[in-house]
Amino acid sequence: NVLGPDVNESFYKFTVNKDNAIRFGMGAIKGVGKGAVATIIENRSKKKYKSIFDLVKKVDLRAANKKTLENLALAGGFDSFKNAHRAQYFNPDGDGIIFLERVIRFGAKYQENLKSAQTSLFGEQSDEVYQELIIPNAPEWQNLEQLKREKEVVGIYLSGHPLDNFKKEIHWFTNRVLANLKDLKPLINKNINVAGIINDFEFLESRNGKQWCKFTMEDFSDQYEFRIFGEEFLKFKHFININQFVRLRLNVREGWRNQETGRIGDPRIQFLSFEMLHEAINNNSKKLTLKFDIRNLQAERILRLKNELNRFKGDKPVCFDIIDSEKPLKLTLNSRKQKVSISPELLDHLENNDWVYKLN
């Protein structure tokens, strides 16, 4: 685990903090140079920064300029200041000036006054300027937007991953990761299920005037650029969009044979289906199987489970795999009456109550 950048703890390079956690280096953020990092570190040496206002009062704003502070904010470098979230720094006022720029102007004015000895740190004018800076109300960015902006300045996702909310779908209904597609030869004649987020796409036209598309998809392992043509393109093109979460069923086919040379080309991908990833559990789950040890069975717990399942009534059968942890015993029971609607919400509920399950 790597902790994100923090102006109160990060150095230029990656370091290990007092809790033996790796802290992201500020120098790895785009637009954050050694001079900016040096002034941030120097001015926190005696006391940590209390707020963004405290920071801009102290650092050299020529080294830590507007672009530097913007990228620090995008990367989460100010997240330890609990009085503001990332979106607020970029909220524009009536004149179209973002809050962070107002803060920088405040800091520059404060430092100018301090140097000219017109006011002191505790003078009336400084307090008046400070009071004028009210942190604007702004909705927090959606998780996906925050992660995308984070990756723009850091190169990787730090505070999470766009697919974090789809781990169940990926676990149960994929059999490969995108990194596996880098070498297709071992996958020839195999059916492949992958899932991810579409980051980029382009609709193109061939020489004979037929449309086709190339699109880039990303999962936890890697990115992969797909190309889709002909009837498959016409059938599935409506799924292809930026920030679309999809599950693909593919078949890897042997490459085309050159009629003149007899040489077989690179393996090719056949698209069997596209599916919205949030629909994968409902569309593909046939049965819910609950597993538990007979020695841990308690009437109260079983009754509670029954009541919980009744909240998710549907048409999918429920089975019970009963084992004995002390004997080689396994018994499978099919419920005749209990049927459920298998959904992410049901699975979350089961996990939160320590029930072990599998999907068929």
Residue 23 confidence (pLDDT) = 96
Look at the block and give the residue holding tokens 């599950």. 247
Number of domains in the chain: 3
**Is 120 part of a structural domain of the chain?**
yes
Residue 343 confidence (pLDDT) = 95
> DSSP state, 289?
E
* Distances, alpha carbon 352 to alpha carbons 79, 141, 278, 306, 355, in Å: 28, 27, 20, 15, 8
Residue 262 confidence (pLDDT) = 82
Note whether 334 and 276 are same-domain residues.
no
Residue 213's domain is classified under what CATH number? 2.40.50.140
Structural domain ending residue among the three candidates 125, 154, 183: 154
Residue 294 confidence (pLDDT) = 85
Note whether 150 and 6 are same-domain residues.
yes
Q: Are 5 and 29 in contact (CB under 8 A)?
A: yes
Note whether 253 and 170 are same-domain residues.
yes
Structural domain ending residue among the three candidates 282, 317, 332: 282
Q: Which of 131, 64, 128, 133 has the alpha carbon at shortest distance from 98?
A: 133
Look at the block and give the residue holding tokens 């720094």. 89
Note whether 140 and 193 are same-domain residues.
no
**Is 22 part of a structural domain of the chain?**
yes
Residue 330 confidence (pLDDT) = 86
Query: For residues 112 and 118, what is the distance between their CA atoms, to the nearest angstrom?
Result: 9
Residue 129 confidence (pLDDT) = 47
Look at the block and give the residue holding tokens 């009456």. 337
Q: Are 15 and 22 in contact (CB under 8 A)?
A: yes
Q: Which of 48, 47, 35, 46 has the alpha carbon at shortest distance from 8?
A: 48
Note whether 198 and 306 are same-domain residues.
no
**Is 68 part of a structural domain of the chain?**
yes
Residue 329 confidence (pLDDT) = 82
Structural domain ending residue among the three candidates 239, 258, 282: 282
Note whether 228 and 290 are same-domain residues.
no
**Is 228 part of a structural domain of the chain?**
yes
* Distances, alpha carbon 111 to alpha carbons 35, 38, 54, 213, in Å: 18, 18, 11, 55
> DSSP state, 250?
E
**Is 28 part of a structural domain of the chain?**
yes
Query: For residues 242 and 148, what is the distance between their CA atoms, to the nearest angstrom?
Result: 12
Note whether 116 and 21 are same-domain residues.
yes
Query: For residues 5 and 79, what is the distance between their CA atoms, to the nearest angstrom?
Result: 9
Note whether 232 and 341 are same-domain residues.
no
Residue 128 confidence (pLDDT) = 47
For the chain, residues with pLDDT lower than 70 are 117-132
**Is 159 part of a structural domain of the chain?**
no
Q: What is the pLDDT of residues 224-274, one digit of tens each?
A: 999 999 999 999 999 999 999 999 999 999 999 888 888 988 999 999 999
Question: Cα dihedral sign for 261, 266, 267, 268?
Answer: negative
Q: Are 270 and 231 in contact (CB under 8 A)?
A: no
Query: For residues 344 and 350, what is the distance between their CA atoms, to the nearest angstrom?
Result: 10
Residue 273 confidence (pLDDT) = 98
Task: Encode burial over 141-170: b for 16+ CB neighbours within 10 A, e otherwise.
Answer: beeeebbbbbbebbeebbbebbbeebebbb
Residue 117 confidence (pLDDT) = 62
Question: Which residues on neighbouring strands pair with residue 288, listed in sequence order?
Answer: 318, 359
Q: Look at the chain and count its residues.
A: 360
C-alpha angle 53/105/44, rounded to 5°? 35
Question: Cα dihedral sign for 184, 187, 170, 356?
Answer: negative
Query: Model's pTM, two decimal places?
Result: 0.84
Q: What is the pLDDT of residues 219-230, one digit of tens each?
A: 999 999 999 999
Note whether 275 and 301 are same-domain residues.
no
Note whether 50 and 143 are same-domain residues.
yes
Residue 132 confidence (pLDDT) = 55
Q: Are 273 and 228 in contact (CB under 8 A)?
A: no
Note whether 171 and 273 are same-domain residues.
yes
Note whether 273 and 185 are same-domain residues.
yes
**Is 223 part of a structural domain of the chain?**
yes
**Is 77 part of a structural domain of the chain?**
yes
Domain coverage including residue 211: 164-282
Question: Which residues on neighbouring strands pair with residue 339, listed in sequence order?
Answer: 317
